[in-house]
Amino acid sequence: MQHFIVIGNPISHSKSPAIHHAFAQSLGLDIQYNRQFCPDDSDSFRAVVEAFFYGGGVGANVTLPFKEIAFNMCQTHSEHAKTAKAVNTLVMRDGKLFGDNTDGAGLIADLLSHDIDLDGKQVAIIGAGGATRGVILPLIEQGAKLTIFNRTLSKALTLQEDFKAFAQIDIKSLDDLANGHFGFEVLINATSTSTTGQSLNISPNLRANVAYDMMYGKPSAFLTHFTKQGTRLLDGYGMLIHQAKLAFELWTGKQVDLNAVLLDQ
């Protein structure tokens, strides 16, 4: 039997074990996937990861607040992990710890599964933290033209600088978000406001064909704002499923057919 874990703090709410067990069941694989609580310090995280792989564990997911520590711990990285500077998927390759980041590709896969084409389209992201960093390169790779709105302008400018080799990113303030006239194919909320229960001030003249909240499982003031505009509304549950699918495929080498997977939301 192959062993997997998801490491986080907090971790008791994680849906990853149910998702991965459902993937395994659909393929007739016998796996054990557990939640692993870890104290919030890098030494503890390193100890947990080392003990897990030393004990024969096959793959680990990493969630908040350890994605950056995981990135620093890995000896090799995927291109997406390198640009995200964060890792959500760990595996041993040739005796070296390899880190991938499937969050951004998970978002793309979810959008594509809803027939949302990004090529040449204007896509805006609100927020300039780790969640945003993880999705920038995958969005650029799809041909999206990016705008980032952020409260702290300097953080958005750092992202603009870090990704300038890949594409030019347009930077806007929260004042622009509150008062501007804009139209986007997709507007993504990657701030932590939905988790903290705060709301964003969004201009009535800001239109989007699709509003996407990376958060899931709670009512979203961000999505509610768009209910009367005929905007398509999506929450982050699809992204969660798709990032998990990509991690599972990396670990097992098997393709998951989501149509054959039984999941309760």
Chain residues binding ligand ATR by CB under 6 A are 127-132, 150-152, 155, 174, 190-193, 198, 200
Closest separation between CB of residue 193 and ligand ATR, Å?
A: 5
**Residue with smaller CB distance to ligand ATR, 57 or 104:** 104
**Residue with smaller CB distance to ligand ATR, 146 or 256:** 146
Query: Residues 6 or more apart from 226 whose CB is under 8 A from it?
Result: 208, 211, 233
Closest separation between CB of residue 99 and ligand ATR, Å?
A: 16
Give the helix ranges, DSSP H, for 55-102. Answer: 67-73, 79-84
Q: Of the candidates 27, 48, 33, which has an alpha carbon nearest to the alpha carbon of residue 2?
A: 33
What one-letter code names the amino acid at 154? Answer: S
* Placement of tokens 């809803």 in the chain: 114
Q: Of the candidates 48, 59, 52, which has an alpha carbon nearest to the alpha carbon of residue 24?
A: 59
164 carries an active-site annotation:
no
103 annotated among ligand-binding-site residues: yes
Burial of 134 (0-12, 13-18, 19+ CB in 10 A): buried
Q: Of the candidates 140, 178, 177, which has an alpha carbon nearest to the alpha carbon of residue 159?
A: 140
Contact 74, 62 (CB under 8 A): no
**Enclosing H/E stretch for 245:** helix 237-252
201 annotated among ligand-binding-site residues: no
Distance CA(243)–CA(78), nearest Å, equals 14
Tokens of 207: 């239109």
Closest separation between CB of residue 80 and ligand ATR, Å?
A: 16
Distance CA(165)–CA(158), nearest Å, equals 13
Closest separation between CB of residue 247 and ligand ATR, Å?
A: 18
Closest separation between CB of residue 258 and ligand ATR, Å?
A: 25
105 annotated among ligand-binding-site residues: no
79 annotated among ligand-binding-site residues: yes
26 annotated among ligand-binding-site residues: no
Neighbours of 119 (CB within 10 A): 9
**Residue with smaller CB distance to ligand ATR, 2 or 9:** 9
**Residue with smaller CB distance to ligand ATR, 84 or 109:** 84
**Residue with smaller CB distance to ligand ATR, 11 or 24:** 11
Q: Catalytic: which of 67, 85, 172, 228?
A: 67
127 annotated among ligand-binding-site residues: yes
Tokens of 6: 């998801």
* Residues marked as catalytic: 67
Binding residues: 14-16, 63, 79, 88, 103, 127-131, 150-155, 214, 216, 236, 243
